[in-house]
């Protein structure tokens, strides 16, 4: 798999300021192959990898990661961006009913989706009406009636002898019906063919024209593979659609169709269908799809671990400073600034033996305190920051004035720093921390 192939190139050197073209190209070759394996169309693969290459070569190096890991991270971010770029929710009409039309090839999963969507909307306090406009397949109307019954929603179907064979009329009548009976969402199920077909396109386009839907959802089977682009483009030209629903994601399709369709039509994927049951349905998650396309689960875990190991190294360096009394006010300020990112600080402290006691204080951390501390430390000279013993009365007065604080504030900060340094020294040497009157940091 891609994961195993990439793991090899992950054993590379650390960053050197910027990634070199060789670093990037080696990894991108693997990515390109994986995307083609996942049935992403060649055009899309080319454009995608060239965009990633440009970005990878211009990005600053992330010191925690090696070149291959960085490229993978960029690839993953770009995938998620493209897949989620146009993401949005269903658009409801200002004046009900909202009209949602489904279009797609036969067997794509439209009728099944109609039921899923109706159930989903009914849970959200809507009163949907399913409309049977597939008058092509012998059992299509009956199938929708069964689906409606299972979903617990109403179905509008043509009465025998009245409009049979004319899906446009059925669609128009259903909207009148919905208006009368106060259904607030109309879901129009349409006919499909096995392949793209002019007559089918015209019928769908006519239904669209007659009903002016708020949403036209193009339903596509994720297993369709390399045919995805041509099919999507044919429907975009023939009917046009406002959003995409990907079906049969419970199968083993890698989901390249998702990327191809979004890239080539610029329409958002709105939902994912993941089985034959009515509840096998969810909003579309770009990050999950990105992992699925590249099968990068393992690699992304490795990247996370690399970043964690890097944090651990920083923690070790900090510990060394504590132990050797070389922890300065500047380090102190830096640590406080990192408190803004409490998660990372807590993690770092968690890695220092015995520092658990400080975690509670982190929970009480006050951002304003940081602003005051920054002001005071920035008013000190470099020498003063490195050695608090220099801070006599007149220096403290100067610092107080420079930072707009009082001498009492300056004193409090210096005391806190000295206590913290002492405490952390004990901790770093493996002892139990004593926190004499160390107020909230």
Task: List residues bridging with 100 in a β-sheet.
Answer: 187, 215
Report whether 425 contacts 331 (CB < 8 A): no
Residue 275, annotated ligand binder? Answer: no
Residue 249, annotated ligand binder? Answer: yes
Distances in Å between the alpha carbon of 80 and those of 1, 39, 285, 291, 326? Answer: 21, 17, 9, 9, 44
Q: Is residue 104 near ligand GDP by the rule CB under 6 A? A: yes
Q: How far is the CB of 349 from Mg ion (least distance, A)?
A: 58
Q: How far is the CB of 192 from ligand GDP (least distance, A)?
A: 5
Nearer to ligand GDP, 96 or 275 (CB): 275
| x-or-dash string of contact with Mg ion, 71-110, rule CB under 5 A | ---------------------------------------x
Nearer to ligand GDP, 32 or 116 (CB): 116
Residue 191, annotated ligand binder? Answer: yes
Nearer to Mg ion, 30 or 134 (CB): 134
Residue 189, annotated ligand binder? Answer: yes
Which residue in this structure is represented by tokens 């610029």?
Answer: 266
| x-or-dash string of contact with Mg ion, 124-163, rule CB under 5 A | ----------x-----------------------------
| x-or-dash string of contact with ligand GDP, 367-406, rule CB under 6 A | ----------------------------------------
Report whether 83 contacts 268 (CB < 8 A): no
Q: How far is the CB of 281 from ligand GDP (least distance, A)?
A: 8
Residue 15, annotated ligand binder? Answer: no
Task: List residues bridging with 156 in a β-sheet.
Answer: 131
| x-or-dash string of contact with ligand GDP, 221-260, rule CB under 6 A | --------------------------xx-xx---------
Q: How far is the CB of 250 from ligand GDP (least distance, A)?
A: 5
C-alpha 308/C-alpha 310 separation (Å) is 5
* Burial per residue of 414-428, b for 16 or more beta-carbon CB atoms within 10 angstroms, e otherwise: bebbebbbbbbbebb
C-alpha 358/C-alpha 349 separation (Å) is 8
Whose CA is closest to 103, among 185, 211, 254, 253? 211
Nearer to ligand GDP, 44 or 108 (CB): 108
As given in the structure block, the two tokens for residue 130 are: 């399913």
Q: How far is the CB of 286 from ligand GDP (least distance, A)?
A: 18
Residue 107, annotated ligand binder? Answer: yes
Nearer to ligand GDP, 274 or 373 (CB): 274
Residue 165, annotated ligand binder? Answer: no
Nearer to Mg ion, 110 or 208 (CB): 110
Q: How far is the CB of 247 from Mg ion (least distance, A)?
A: 12
Nearer to ligand GDP, 280 or 369 (CB): 280
Whose CA is closest to 173, among 156, 191, 153? 156
Q: Is residue 53 near ligand GDP by the rule CB under 6 A? A: no
CB neighbours of residue 185 within 10 Å = 26
Whose CA is closest to 59, among 45, 70, 69? 70
When binding is defined by CB under 6 A, the residue of 110, 292, 396, 416 that contacts ligand GDP is 110
Stated length of the chain? 441
Residue number, nearest CB to Mg ion: 111
Query: Up-side HSE of residue 92: CA atoms within 13 Å toward CB?
Result: 12
Q: Is residue 276 near ligand GDP by the rule CB under 6 A? A: yes
CA dihedral (331, 332, 338, 342) positive or negative:
positive
When binding is defined by CB under 5 A, the residue of 111, 157, 211, 319 that contacts Mg ion is 111
Residue 231, annotated ligand binder? Answer: no
C-alpha 302/C-alpha 297 separation (Å) is 9
Report whether 263 contacts 42 (CB < 8 A): no
**What is the three-class DSSP state of 114?**
helix
C-alpha 411/C-alpha 231 separation (Å) is 73
Nearer to ligand GDP, 104 or 243 (CB): 104
Residue 386, annotated ligand binder? Answer: no
C-alpha 339/C-alpha 291 separation (Å) is 32
Q: Where are the beta strands (DSSP E) in 60-214?
A: 98-103, 128-133, 154-156, 185-190
Q: Is residue 193 near ligand GDP by the rule CB under 6 A? A: no
Q: What angle do CA 348, 350, 355 make, to 5 degrees?
A: 105
Q: What angle do CA 309, 313, 316 make, to 5 degrees?
A: 135
The annotation places the binding site for GTP at 104-111, 189-193, 247-250
- List contacts with Mg ion (CB under 5 A): 110-111, 134
The annotation places the binding site at 104-111, 189-193, 247-250
- List contacts with ligand GDP (CB under 6 A): 104, 106-112, 192, 247-248, 250-251, 273-276, 280
């Amino acid at each position: 798999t891609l994961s195993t192939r990439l793991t090899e190139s992950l054993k590379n050197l650390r960053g050197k300021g910027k990634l070199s073209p060789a670093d990037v190209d080696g990894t991108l070759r693997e990515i390109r192959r994986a995307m083609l394996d996942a049935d992403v169309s060649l055009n899309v693969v080319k454009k995608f990898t060239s965009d990633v290459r440009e970005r990878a070569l211009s990005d600053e190096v992330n010191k925690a990661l090696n070149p291959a890991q960085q490229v993978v991270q960029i690839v993953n971010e770009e995938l998620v961006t493209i897949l989620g770029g146009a993401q949005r929710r269903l658009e409801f009409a200002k004046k009900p009913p909202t009209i949602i039309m489904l279009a797609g090839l036969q067997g794509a999963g439209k009728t099944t989706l109609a039921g899923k969507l109706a159930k989903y909307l009914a849970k959200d306090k809507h009163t949907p009406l399913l409309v049977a406009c597939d008058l092509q397949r012998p059992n299509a109307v009956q199938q929708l009636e069964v689906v409606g019954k299972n979903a617990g929603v109403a179905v509008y179907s043509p009465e025998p002898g009245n409009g049979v064979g004319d899906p446009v009329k059925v669609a128009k009548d259903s909207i009148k019906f919905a208006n009368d009976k106060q259904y607030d969402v109309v879901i129009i199920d349409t006919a499909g063919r096995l392949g793209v077909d002019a007559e089918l396109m015209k019928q769908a386009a006519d239904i669209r024209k007659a009903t002016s839907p708020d949403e036209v959802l193009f339903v596509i089977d994720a297993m369709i593979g390399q045919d995805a682009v041509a099919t999507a483009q044919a429907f975009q030209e023939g009917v046009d659609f406002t959003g995409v629903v990907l079906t049969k994601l419970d199968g083993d399709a890698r989901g390249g169709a998702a990327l191809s369709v979004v890239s080539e039509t610029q329409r958002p994927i709105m939902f994912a269908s993941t089985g034959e049951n009515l509840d096998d349905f969810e909003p579309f998650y770009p990050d999950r799809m990105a992992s699925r396309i590249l099968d990068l689960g393992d690699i992304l875990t490795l990247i996370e671990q690399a970043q964690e190991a890097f944090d651990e190294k920083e923690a070790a360096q900090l510990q060394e400073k504590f132990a050797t009394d070389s922890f300065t006010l500047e380090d102190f300020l830096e640590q406080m600034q990192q408190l803004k990112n409490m998660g990372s600080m807590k993690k770092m402290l968690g890695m220092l033996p015995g520092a658990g006691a400080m975690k509670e204080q982190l929970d009480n951390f006050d951002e304003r305190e940081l602003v005051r501390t920054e002001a005071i430390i920035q008013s000190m000279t470099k020498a003063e920051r490195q050695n608090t013993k220099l801070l006599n009365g007149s220096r403290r007065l100067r610092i107080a004035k420079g930072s707009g604080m009082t001498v009492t504030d300056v004193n409090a900060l210096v005391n806190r720093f000295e206590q913290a340094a002492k405490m952390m020294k004990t901790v770093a040497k493996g002892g139990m921390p004593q926190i004499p009157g160390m107020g909230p940091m």
